[in-house]
């Protein structure tokens, strides 16, 4: 049951542009975010990559991004939602940096948010549900920066350390052999011509 997955972070949002913490809260794509999303779609078309299935989180920014990438019908998954930051949602991203913490190894439960282990658990379960629910061989999944990095560190820690991090519309190419997930590449070449 070999499958190919393309995991994509959503395009730039208003909160990304304003350097605000954006987890379960949502904000729309900026014009740059729309251009980034369209560039992902063009990247796949240029390489004649077509999808059997498309998925995104329940947050609008992933759905907007997916619609600019593909015109396939898609399914929204609650388990693909971004890391929840609790009361830190909407605050400056400088606040997280001021703690001196590693985003992926910090529990935000003290602020009413999520623990990284629980994010990994729900993301891994959702990914396994997606690959096992049907016979789709090539799957597009649009999700979020923190939860994708959390997932990659769980499913393939050896390759995750070399993956490009936290760039809007980065593409992670992942192989699934029926048992194990392997990160093949992280791709940002399609973003080279995008202007602010």
The distance of Cα 108 from the centroid of its chain, to the nearest Å, equals 19
Question: Global pTM?
Answer: 0.95
User: 112: left (phi > 0), else alpha (psi -120 to 50), else beta?
Assistant: left
Q: With a cut of 90, say whether residue 139 has pLDDT above it.
A: yes
Provide the annotated active-site residues. Answer: 10, 82
pLDDT single digits (tens) 178-189: 999 999 999 999
pLDDT single digits (tens) 107-136: 788 889 998 899 999 999 999 999 999 999
Q: Which residue ranges form the domains of the chain, and what is each CATH number?
A: 3-18+29-82+115-191 (3.40.50.1240)
Q: With a cut of 90, say whether residue 10 has pLDDT above it.
A: yes
Across the range 11-18, mean pLDDT stands at 97
The binding site comprises 9-16, 61
pLDDT band at 100, cuts 50/70/90? low
The binding site for substrate comprises 9-16, 61
């Amino acid at each position: 049951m070999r499958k190919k997955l393309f995991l994509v972070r959503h395009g730039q949002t208003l909160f990304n542009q304003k350097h605000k913490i954006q987890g379960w809260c949502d904000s729309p794509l900026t014009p740059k975010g729309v251009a980034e999303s369209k560039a992902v779609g063009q990247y796949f078309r240029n390489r004649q990559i077509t999808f059997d299935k498309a998925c995104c989180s329940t947050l609008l920014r992933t759905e907007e991004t997916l619609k600019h990438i593909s015109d396939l019908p898609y399914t929204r998954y609650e388990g693909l939602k971004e890391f929840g930051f609790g009361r830190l949602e909407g605050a400056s991203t400088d606040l997280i940096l001021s703690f001196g913490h590693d985003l992926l190894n910090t529990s935000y439960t003290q602020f009413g948010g999520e623990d990284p282990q629980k994010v990994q658990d729900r993301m891994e379960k959702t990914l396994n549900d997606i690959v096992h629910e049907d016979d789709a061989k090539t799957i597009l999944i649009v999700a979020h920066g923190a939860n994708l990095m959390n997932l990659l560190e769980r499913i393939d820690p050896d390759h995750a350390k070399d993956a490009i991090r936290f760039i809007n519309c980065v593409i992670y190419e992942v192989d699934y052999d029926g048992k194990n997930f392997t990160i093949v590449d992280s791709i940002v070449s399609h973003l080279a011509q995008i202007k602010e």
